[in-house]
Amino acid sequence: MSTKRTTSYTPQTERPQYTRRNVTVPFNEINEEGTYYFHPTGWLYRVPADSISLGHSPMMNICSLEECYVTKVSDDPWIPLNKAREICSNWDFSVNF
C-alpha cells in the first residue's frame, strides 16, 4: 500500500501569501511593495506601498559603483522575521537580520 503525500502549499484566506518565486532586481528598480533581501549586506528591506507611490515619501536610492541587487522574499511588506529568515535560508542566502 502506497501513501501519497501532497507537497503543494495551499494558503488559507486569512493568511498572507508569501512569494514562492525568486525575483532579483537592482535596488533602484524596486517597483512593487513587499519584503526584499539586500544582497550586499544580508539585510531585509520592507517596502510598503507608500514608499513606491509617486509623490510620497520616504523614497530611497542607493548610489554605488557596483549594482546592489535585492531579491523579493514576499509580497507582504510586514512578513514575520522568522518566516523571512526561513525563505532566505531555503534559497541559501546569508541573513543579517
Closest C-alpha among 38, 24, 33 to residue 52: 33
- Is residue 3's pLDDT more than 80? no
C-alpha cell at 39: 544582497
pLDDT at 8: 45
pLDDT tens by residue, 21-76: 688 999 988 989 999 999 999 999 999 988 888 777 667 778 888 889 999 999 99
C-alpha cell at 55: 509623490
List the beta strands (DSSP E) in the chain.
23-26, 34-38, 43-47, 69-74
Output 80-85 pairs: Cβ under 8 A, ≥24 positions apart. Answer: 81/44, 83/18, 84/35, 84/37, 84/44
